[in-house]
């Protein structure tokens, strides 16, 4: 019968052998050329021994499929790099394994369509279009059931064009226009039945000119004249009307544009 001392010696030797094999593998994997450029397969580890990433380099640039991990060992991102036009396809994951985001890179810049998913119910939260790392075209926010909640038009990473928010049933809730990242032009708030609740005008995010509040029967309830944000008779506004204006201000920029770097890192 083997004694405890012998068993302990065997275990220690096995552990050292395993460590030496891993060290040799890393030596084989993590190679640089005479210029110091990474070449071939590379691995990098957290202090706890779990992988940070693994993948293939050519002249210090990633090529093919890369995997990056959370410190817990869970997969964080899969990125498939091409040698043509410096393009890459990325799929990001939350630490619980559910899909977080997916889209394309051109170099290190986001390109074409990106989609972002909810951590809580896995539903599509946001869809937007990039060109050279800048938002261009429409971005869309969705309710958990997939129906459209909001759409915003972008040009060179600034809100510029149509902005609309929707009720869960699909009817328009608010409608306005952005120019240079600020609301400019006619603005409407609609009831869920489609009738107009408020009609007004913005100049650089400031209420300006005549604002009209309507009753549920579509008759005029109140008219207020604004001069670059200053009303001529705000004291006559009802609490309901004040609440509508408060919600208008609150809903500007309510839905943050997603950024996967908030919870993930790029491969280095």
Residue 22 has a pLDDT of: 44
How far apart are the C-alpha atoms of 215 and 111, rounded to whole Å? Answer: 46
Cα–Cα dist 14/109, whole Å:
46
**In whole angstroms, what separates CA 195 from the centre of its chain?**
33
CATH 1.10.10.10 matches 74-262:
no
Structure tokens at 261: 């770097």
The domain locations on the chain are 74-262
Phi, psi of 193 (to 5 degrees): -85, 0
- Each residue's pLDDT, cut to its tens digit, for the chain (268 residues) gives 445 454 444 444 444 444 444 444 445 899 999 999 999 999 999 999 999 999 999 999 899 999 999 999 999 999 999 877 789 999 999 999 999 999 999 988 999 999 999 999 999 999 999 999 999 999 999 999 999 999 999 999 999 999 999 999 999 999 999 999 999 999 999 999 999 999 999 999 999 999 999 999 999 998 989 999 888 876 666 676 677 777 777 776 555 555 555 444 333 3
Q: Give the whole-angstrom CA distance, residue 11 versus residue 25.
A: 21
Distance, in Å, from the CA atom of 165 to the CA atom of 194, rounded to the nearest integer, reads 13
Interatomic CA distance for residues 191 and 150, integer angstroms: 16
Query: Which 8-state DSSP code applies to residue 1?
Result: -
Task: Report the alpha-carbon distance of residue 226 to residue 34 in Å, rounded.
Answer: 70
| The pLDDT value given to residue 255 | 56
Residue 244 has a pLDDT of 72
- Of 168, 128, 165, 127, nearest in space to 144 by CA: 168
């Amino acid at each position: 019968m083997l004694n405890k001392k012998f068993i302990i010696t065997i275990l220690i030797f096995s552990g050292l052998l395993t460590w030496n094999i891993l060290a040799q593998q890393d030596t084989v994997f993590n190679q640089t050329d005479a210029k110091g450029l990474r070449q071939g397969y590379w691995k990098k580890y957290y202090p706890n021994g779990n992988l940070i990433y693994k993948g293939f380099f050519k002249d210090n640039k990633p090529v093919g499929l890369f995997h990056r991990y959370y410190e817990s060992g869970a997969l964080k991102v899969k990125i498939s790099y091409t040698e043509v036009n410096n393009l890459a396809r990325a799929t990001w994951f939350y630490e619980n394994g559910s899909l977080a985001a997916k889209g394309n890179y051109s170099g290190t810049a986001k390109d074409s369509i990106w989609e972002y998913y909810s951590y809580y119910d896995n539903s599509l939260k946001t869809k937007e279009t990039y060109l050279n790392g800048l938002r261009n075209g429409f971005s869309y926010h969705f309710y958990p059931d997939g129906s459209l909640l909001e759409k915003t038009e972008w040009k060179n990473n600034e809100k510029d064009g149509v902005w609309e928010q929707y009720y869960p049933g699909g009817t328009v809730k608010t409608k306005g226009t952005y120019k240079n990242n600020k609301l400019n032009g006619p603005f409407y708030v609609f009831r869920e039945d489609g009738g107009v609740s408020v009609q007004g005008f913005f100049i650089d995010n400031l209420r300006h000119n005549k604002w009209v509040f309507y009753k549920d029967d579509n008759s005029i309830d109140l008219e207020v004249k604004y001069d670059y944000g200053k009303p001529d008779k705000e004291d006559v506004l009802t609490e309901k009307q004040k609440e509508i204006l408060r919600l208008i201000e609150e809903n500007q920029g309510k839905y943050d544009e997603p950024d996967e770097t908030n919870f993930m890192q790029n491969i280095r």
